[in-house]
């Protein structure tokens, strides 16, 4: 199979969908950067100097599909669409007729990513970012 996706051959023989289970702005608090490393910036949310890598995995096997090393001060969704713009057409050509599903946390809930998924016919589910109105309405149902 071309394009480096041979690890999915047996999975896709049994299933008709490829589920990209997680888009992660992966942060390892235990492994901050040290010294004057290029692109290592202070991230106030994590209170450390760090990198903020963007990792995309396939759900069934856990195989890493794509990765991008980003500066420590990058937002969770920074550069996701350009990364997917390279990945999705390759997946669609390598696995014609297979549905691609995309899931991510609230950091990826942005209209540009929704439009991207709609354009490429990708099923998607992203968490809703927390806000005070949402929290007030959800609180009675959590008891």
78's tokens: 């920074």
Give the single-character DSSP code of 134.
Answer: H
Using CA atoms, how far apart are residues 82 and 54, in angstroms rounded to an integer? Answer: 12
Q: Is the residue at 45 inside a domain? A: no
Q: Could you state, in chain order, the average pLDDT of each consecutive group of 10 residues for the chain (143 residues)?
A: 50 51 45 72 75 80 82 75 91 85 84 93 85 86 79
| Residue 47 maps to a domain | no
Q: What is the per-residue pLDDT for 4? A: 55
Domain that holds residue 130: 2-26+53-142
Number of domains within the chain: 1
Please report, for the domain that includes residue 60, its CATH number: 3.30.420
Residue 5 is predicted with a pLDDT of: 55
Residue 101 lies in a domain: yes
95 domain residue, yes or no = yes
For 89, residues 6+ apart whose C-beta sits below 8 A from its C-beta are 120
């Amino acid at each position: 199979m071309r394009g480096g996706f041979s690890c999915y051959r047996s999975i896709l023989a049994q299933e008709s969908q490829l589920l990209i289970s997680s888009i992660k702005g992966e942060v390892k608090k235990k492994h901050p950067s040290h010294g004057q490393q290029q692109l290592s910036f202070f991230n106030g949310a994590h209170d450390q100097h760090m990198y903020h890598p963007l990792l995309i995995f396939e759900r069934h096997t856990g195989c890493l599909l794509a990765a991008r090393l980003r500066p420590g001060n990058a937002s969770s969704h920074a550069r996701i669409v350009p990364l997917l713009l390279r990945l999705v057409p390759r997946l669609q050509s390598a696995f014609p007729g297979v549905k691609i599903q995309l899931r991510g946390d609230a950091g990826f809930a942005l209209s540009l990513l929704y439009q991207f998924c709609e354009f490429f016919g990708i099923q998607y589910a992203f968490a809703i970012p927390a806000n005070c109105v949402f929290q007030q309405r959800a609180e009675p149902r959590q008891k």
